[in-house]
A and B are shown apart, each in its own frame.
Chain A
Amino acid sequence: MSDLLQTYQQRLLETFGGSTIEHAGDVTVVLPAENILAAARMIHDELGFDYLVYVTAVDYWPQENPRFHVAYGFRSLAQKLTLYVRAPVSGIEPVLPSIESVYKNANWQEREVYDMFGIRFEGHPDLRRILMPADWVGHPQRKDYPLGYEEPQYSFNFDEIKARKPAPKE
């Protein structure tokens, strides 16, 4: 890993506090959730990471504090660096600031995280469901949401399943 990236990570840690996780040679900076907008501004304007790669979340249920990690990937095309950032949040309906004002493509990415995990982004201009139907109940990618497994129909249980399987009108 390059020294430049290390100094950037140090700067982020000094300004906003937090810790680091290391795996497979990648260092992830864990920053407090309330600072994420300020951090994104610094990452974009001062450190020169002009391209947001992804926004996603991980659910650590049944662990309660922190229950979710919102993960970000930033990339600098000129410096050829990639910076991984995470922000831990907790609660049934966690809230953290939106970085849509800094990176335009965070708009849909954050909507997807909201749809799938129920994490609200404060200051997002259009926080609606994006993938699921608007009247869907629950947030499918949470760990406490069931996969929705349906029993396959074999010859031995054919009649039993056929009785409850919905059939269309002609």
Chain B
Amino acid sequence: MGVEQKLGNMGVVTLKLEELVNWSRANAMWPMLFGLACCAIEMMSAQASHYDMSRFGMELMRASPRQSDLMIVAGRVTRKMAPVVRRLYDQMPDPKWVIAMGDCASCGGVFNNYAVVQGVDEVVPVDVYVAGCPPRPDALIHGILTLHEKVRGEKFKDWA
């Protein structure tokens, strides 16, 4: 009993265009294949066999920022890397979202020194922060689901 059979009986589905767009944006989000440090390994774990992020329509990691909607900043952002992160963000097409994965990307973590940017939110706007050093893959998946929820509630007029 999939949606096809139901459609056969009903013939037509009505919903707001906004909901349809948000539903499709949330369920086929392409993250950028972009790891910085320790968290990148846990991000790989989340992609790999045990946790399998493709259950949420996210198996396709794009190496090019031009093809991705979601940037997972996995790891510490250094002063040398910060301009690069910003340029990658600028290259992504709208609509785009950012997850700050781990303590270093969220607030600098244990590193409070000359080299590390104290939170990637100084460089790019962040939608979801995931805590942990590094966060477990389940925590990352939770963060992604939280982002999906956020995307489902978005309004067109905010993007305009």
Which residues in A have some Cβ–Cβ distance to B below 8 Å? 132-133, 140, 145-150, 152-153, 165-168, 170
Taken together as a complex, chains A and B put the C-alpha atoms of A132 and B86 apart, in Å, by 18
> Whole-angstrom distance from the CB of B115 to the nearest CB of chain A?
7
Interface assignment of B50: CB less than 8 Å from any CB of chain A: no
> Whole-angstrom distance from the CB of A69 to the nearest CB of chain B?
23
In contact, B114 and A168 (Cβ under 8 angstroms): no
- Residues of B83-118 contacting chain A, CB below 8 A: 86, 107-108, 112-115, 118
Summarize A's interface: helix, strand, loop or mixed: loop
Closest chain A residue to B108 by CB distance? A150
- 30 A-B pairs in the complex with CB atoms less than 8 angstroms apart: A132-B80, A132-B115, A133-B79, A133-B80, A140-B114, A140-B115, A145-B114, A146-B114, A147-B112, A147-B113, A147-B114, A148-B113, A148-B114, A148-B115, A149-B112, A149-B113, A150-B108, A150-B112, A152-B107, A152-B112, A165-B118, A165-B122, A167-B121, A167-B122, A168-B86, A168-B122, A168-B123, A168-B124, A168-B125, A170-B125
> Whole-angstrom distance from the CB of B51 to the nearest CB of chain A?
30
Taken together as a complex, chains A and B put the C-alpha atoms of A153 and B114 apart, in Å, by 17
Which residues in B have some Cβ–Cβ distance to A below 8 Å? 79-80, 86, 107-108, 112-115, 118, 121-125
> Whole-angstrom distance from the CB of B112 to the nearest CB of chain A?
6
Taken together as a complex, chains A and B put the C-alpha atoms of A143 and B79 apart, in Å, by 20
Contacts of A152 in B (CB 8 A): 107, 112
Among B108, B113, B121, which residue has its beta carbon within 8 angstroms of that of A168? B121
Contacts of B123 in A (CB 8 A): 168
> Whole-angstrom distance from the CB of A26 to the nearest CB of chain B?
30
Among B108, B114, B122, which residue has its beta carbon within 8 angstroms of that of A166? B122
Contacts of B107 in A (CB 8 A): 152-153
